[in-house]
């Protein structure tokens, strides 16, 4: 049972480059989330989705876009990477509107030089 | 606005000592859930416990126990007889209900626990 899978695990970008982080879950979860983790700042919500075809902004959405074309996948895009986007990115999913715990992927460590 | 505060940035204890990690939250919701997650040095986030706002009973799971007090808006986590394997960053989180009917999970900044042999 894979759970939540994030690809890639590591990536180094140059300022201005673009990339897409992929999150895939095999638990048939409705809700999916993208967080970033920075030292001393905990986990901050970037974007989330309550179902296929829907997305919404979180606390720190600027510089990111997302898409949920299929229920099992939630993509996070950086159109023009900046050094401030150097972070560890976590994807999470959960069943639905019952406050069930988040299931997290193992994270993607992104460095923007 | 909803908020989770973990004032302890880092705690160091010697193995077998008891340690309590503090979590204070703010919310306007009358129904809410609180969570604790563990992030070991390997980096993954592991769910430990969920507690709803109507259940103030303390919970114990092995060496772990949680104390939920609505009167002080706190949800503290105690590890009894700590072990080196308990070394990790611990996050407290609060779920916030949204008008869409879904929930947004707000995390504290985490407490790094170091257990020394």
CB atoms within 10 A of CB A96: 14
Cβ distance A97 to B47 less than 8 Å, yes or no, reads: no
Nearest to B45 among A44, A90, A96 (CB): A90
Tens digits of residue pLDDT in A63-81: 999 999 999 999 999 999 9
Tens digits of residue pLDDT in A27-58: 999 999 999 999 888 999 999 998 999 999 99
The whole-number pLDDT of residue B39 equals 96
- Which residues of chain B does A56 touch, with a Cβ-Cβ cutoff of 8 Å? 100
The whole-number pLDDT of residue B6 equals 97
The whole-number pLDDT of residue B100 equals 62
- Best mutation target, A102, A108, A110, to test chain B (most B CBs within 10 A): A102
The whole-number pLDDT of residue B104 equals 80
Say yes or no to pLDDT of B14 above 90: yes
The whole-number pLDDT of residue B88 equals 97
Nearest CA to B109 out of B91, B94, B88, B87 is that of B91
Nearest to B47 among A42, A58, A101 (CB): A101
- Which residues of chain A does B30 touch, with a Cβ-Cβ cutoff of 8 Å? none
Tens digits of residue pLDDT in A87-104: 999 999 998 666 788 999
- Which residues of chain B does A35 touch, with a Cβ-Cβ cutoff of 8 Å? 107
For the residues of B49-112, what is the DSSP string, one character each?
EEEETT----EEETTEEEEEEGGGTEEEEEESS--GGG-EEEEEEEEEE-TTS-EEEEE---EE
Nearest to B104 among A41, A48, A104 (CB): A48
Which H or E run includes B6?
none
CA-only gyration radius of chain B, Å: 14
Cβ distance A106 to B100 less than 8 Å, yes or no, reads: no
Q: How many angstroms away from the CA of A69 is the closest CA of chain B?
A: 19
Contact (Cβ atoms closer than 8 angstroms) between residue B84 and residue B115 = yes
Say yes or no to pLDDT of B2 above 90: no
**Angstrom distance (rounded) from CA B86 to CA B40:** 8
Say yes or no to pLDDT of A19 above 70: yes
B106 inside 8 A of chain A by CB: yes
**Token pair recorded at residue B99:** 């008008």
Cβ distance B107 to A56 less than 8 Å, yes or no, reads: no
């Amino acid at each position: 049972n894979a759970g939540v899978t994030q690809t890639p695990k590591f990536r180094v970008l140059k300022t201005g480059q673009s990339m897409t982080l992929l999150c895939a879950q095999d638990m048939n979860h409705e809700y999916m989330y993208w967080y970033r983790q920075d030292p001393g700042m905990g986990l901050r919500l970037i974007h989330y989705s309550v179902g296929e075809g829907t997305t919404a902004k979180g606390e720190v959405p600027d510089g990111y876009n997302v898409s949920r074309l299929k229920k099992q996948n939630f993509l996070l895009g950086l159109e023009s990477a900046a050094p401030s986007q150097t972070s560890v990115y976590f994807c999470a999913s959960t069943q639905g509107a019952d406050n069930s715990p988040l299931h997290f992927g193992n994270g993607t460590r992104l460095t923007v030089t | 606005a909803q908020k989770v505060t973990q004032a302890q940035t880092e705690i160091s204890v010697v193995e077998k000592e008891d340690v309590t990690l503090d979590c204070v939250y703010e919310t306007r919701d009358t129904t809410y859930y609180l969570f604790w997650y563990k992030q070991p040095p390997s980096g993954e986030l592991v769910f430990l416990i969920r507690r709803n706002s109507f259940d103030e009973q303390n919970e114990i799971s092995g060496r772990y126990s949680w104390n939920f007090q609505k009167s002080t808006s706190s949800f503290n986590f105690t590890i009894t007889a700590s072990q080196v394997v308990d070394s990790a960053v611990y996050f407290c989180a609060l779920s916030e209900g949204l008008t869409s009917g879904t929930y947004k999970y707000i995390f504290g900044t985490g407490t790094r626990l170091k257990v020394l042999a």
